[in-house]
Amino acid sequence: MLIDTYGRVATDLRVSLTDRCNLRCTYCMPEEGLQWLAKPDLLTDDEIVRLIDIAVTSLGIEEVRFTGGEPLLRPGLVGIVERVAALEPRPQMSLTTNGIGLKRTAAALKAAGLDRVNVSLDTLRPDVFKTLTRRDRHKDVIEGLHAARDAGLTPVKVNSVLMPGLNDDEAPDLLAWAVEHDYELRFIEQMPLDAQHGWKRDGMITAGDILASLRTRFELTAEGEEARGSAPAERWLVDGGPHVVGVIASVTRPFCAACDRTRLTADGQIRTCLFAQEETDLRAALRSDAPDEEIARIWRLAMWGKKAGAGLDDPSFVQPDRPMSAIGG
């Protein structure tokens, strides 16, 4: 079991498979990209599967989310999914992706055992997409979403970040589109995880702003805390259901008290929180032939030291040195 001093138990593992990405989203990284990890620093496929095996069989992990960077850039992705699906007990598996490349891989991922996907899409307008991501790939993402739905990787969740002056007027249109195509839309407040450290709380589009915009066109009924559990998104029924919309308000409505996540970076570091300043190295233990029991002990110790919250409302908050692309969403 992965328990911390506040009694929270981690059952959800986020695994970053690569720090690389084929988009350059303005809220994540600079236009020229980042200094990527060297290949020897990355965990191998075998190392990733071994760590997930330890997490599932010895530490109580029930859900595994593959992230990046962009996880579809990982050459061994389908094989990793297939091997994790064979573990006992079998964890639930999902993937967070920008959707580029999903059209050609969705069926293979489903066959390998992946349960569902989260796809990032911030706008319905190709010109705005190009401005936000610095790439002209809007059509590829739309086609990837359709392929995921047709392959049965459901519920297909769409993650959207609203940025002032770019797409902050699109919330109702995005929801209408998601309902039409049977996707579950989730808005995410912009978080301080950009490589440029340009994030400012003043002027960000808040959960309150998003809900006010949605209510100009839809009736929203809160599901409530009991239905939410440890999920990061607060959810509302849309016009009485069955469709729902979620808002992940990491900044204005933090949910740290219910957090059940532990994170593994692409280079084998354990992070107890997206906003953590400290990491615990599992790669060194792996490569020094440490037994599974020792690796599990190191992991438990790291989680025992997890802080009460991210501290985004604390004036002394310091943004993590690693951008989101290197940590995993």
Look up the CATH number of the domain holding residue 193.
3.20.20.70
Let me know: does 238 contact 176? Beta carbons within 8 Å: no
pLDDT category at 274 given cuts 50, 70, 90 is confident
User: Is residue 139 part of an annotated ligand binding site?
Assistant: no
pLDDT band, residue 327 (cuts 50/70/90)? low
The pLDDT value recorded for residue 325 is: 53
Residue 57, marked binder: no
The pLDDT of 99-104, averaged and rounded, is 96
Average pLDDT, the chain: 89
Decide if pLDDT at 262 tops 50: yes
**103 pLDDT more than 50:** yes
* Neighbour count for residue 5 (Cβ, 10 Å): 11
**Is there a binding annotation on residue 261?**
yes
Least confident residue range of 38-52, 285-299, 315-329: 315-329
Ligand-binding annotation for 259, yes or no, is yes
Quote the CA–CA distance of 279 and 288 in Å, as a whole number. Answer: 18
**What are the b/e assignments for 107-118, b being 16+ CB within 10 Å?**
eebbebbbbbbb
CA distance 65 to 261: 10
105 labeled binding residue: no
303 assigned ligand-binding residue: no
Is 216 within any annotated ligand binding site?
no
Is 198 annotated in a binding site? The answer is no
Question: Binding site annotation covers 69?
Answer: yes
Structure tokens at 111: 């066959």
280 assigned binding-site residue: no
Give the number of other Cβ atoms within 10 Å of residue 209's Cβ.
17
Structure tokens at 39: 């290949």
Q: What are 77's two structure tokens?
A: 């992705």
CA 283 to each of CA 3, 217, 280, 325: distance values in angstroms, whole numbers, following the listed order? 21, 50, 9, 19
What pLDDT shows up at residue 320? 54
pLDDT reported for residue 194: 47
Give CB contacts under 8 A, 24+ apart, made by 229-237.
229/258, 230/12, 230/258, 230/259, 230/260, 233/186, 234/207, 236/211
14 labeled binding residue: yes
Say whether 191 counts as a known binding-site residue.
yes
Q: What is the 3-state secondary structure (H, E, C) of the chain?
A: CEECCCCCEECEEEEECCCCCCCCCCCCCCCCCCCCCCHHHCCCHHHHHHHHHHHHHHCCCCEEEEECCCHHHCCCHHHHHHHHHCCCCCCEEEEEECCCCHHHHHHHHHHHCCCEEEEECCCCCHHHHHHHHCCCCHHHHHHHHHHHHHHCCCCCEEEECCCCCCCCCCHHHHHHHHHHHCCEEEEECCCCCCCCCCCCCCCCCCHHHHHHHHCCCCCEEECCHHHHCCCCCEEEEECCCCCEEEEECCCCCCCHHHCCEEEECCCCEEECCCCCCCCEECHHHHHCCCCHHHHHHHHHHHHHCCCCCCCCCCCCCCCCCCCHHHHCC
Name the nearest CA neighbour of 92 among 117, 72, 74, 75.
117
- The pTM score is 0.89
28 is in an annotated binding site: yes
Range of the domain at 193: 2-326
pLDDT category at 197 given cuts 50, 70, 90 is very low
User: Does 21 count as an annotated binding residue?
Assistant: yes
pLDDT digits (tens, 9 = 90+) for 108-121: 999 999 999 999 99
pLDDT of residue 199: 44
Q: Is 263 annotated as a binding residue?
A: yes
Number of separate domains in the chain: 1
